[in-house]
Amino acid sequence: MPQQVKAVVARSKGAPVTVETINVPDPGPGEAVVQVQACGVCHTDLHYREGGINDDFPFLLGHEASGVVEAVGEGVTGLEPGDFVVLNWRAVCGSCRACLRGEPWYCFATFNATQKMTLEDGTELSPALGIGAFAEKTLVAAGQCTKVDPSARPAAVGLLGCGVMAGLGAAINTGNVTRGKSVAVIGCGGVGAAAVAGSVLAGAGTVIAVDIDDRKLEGARSMGATHTVNSTTQDPVEAIQALTGGHGADVVIDAVGRPETWKQGFYARDLAGTLVLVGVPTPEMRIPDIPLIDVFGRGGSLKSSWYGDCLPTRDFPLLVDLYQQGRLDLDAFVTEEIGIDGVEAAFDKMHDGNVLRSVVVF
Residue with smallest beta-carbon separation from ligand NAD: 189
Task: For residue 107, state whether it binds Zn ion (rule: CB under 5 A).
Answer: yes
Question: Which DSSP string corresponds to 45-101?
Answer: HHHHHTTSS-S-PSEE---EEEEEEEEE-TT--S--TT-EEEE-S-B--SSSHHHHT
Q: Is 302 in the site for ligand NAD (CB under 6 A)?
A: no
Query: Residue 96 binds which one of Zn ion, ligand NAD, none, with CB within 5 to 8 A depending on kind?
Result: Zn ion
Q: How far apart are CA 24 and CA 32, in angstroms?
A: 11
Nearest distance from residue 215's CB to Zn ion, in Å? 21
The sign of the torsion formed by the CA atoms of 185, 191, 195, 200 equals positive
133 interacts with ligand NAD by CB under 6 A:
no
**Of positions 67, 104, 163, 175, contacts ligand NAD by CB under 6 A:** 163
Question: Residues 123-157, buried b or exposed e (16+ Cβ, 10 A)?
Answer: eebbbbbbbbbbbbbbbbbbbbbbbbeeebbbbbb
Tell whether residue 42 is a contact of Zn ion (CB under 5 A).
yes
Q: Looking at 19, 71, 96, 338, which residue binds Zn ion (CB under 5 A)?
A: 96
For position 191 contacting ligand NAD by CB under 6 A, the verdict is yes
Q: Is 192 in the site for ligand NAD (CB under 6 A)?
A: yes
End-to-end CA distance of the chain: 22
Nearer to ligand NAD, 25 or 189 (CB): 189
Q: What is the side-by-side strand order in the sheet with 207-211?
A: 227-230, 207-211, 183-186, 249-254, 269-277, 301-304
d(CA 241, CA 328): 29
Examine residue 189 and tell whether it contacts ligand NAD (CB under 6 A).
Answer: yes
- Choose which of 256, 268, 311, 330 interacts with ligand NAD (CB under 6 A): 256
- For binding to ligand NAD (CB under 6 A), which residues are involved? 42-44, 47, 162-163, 166, 186-192, 210-213, 216, 231, 255-258, 261, 278-280, 305-307, 350, 353
- For binding to Zn ion (CB under 5 A), which residues are involved? 42, 44, 93, 96, 99, 107, 109, 162-163
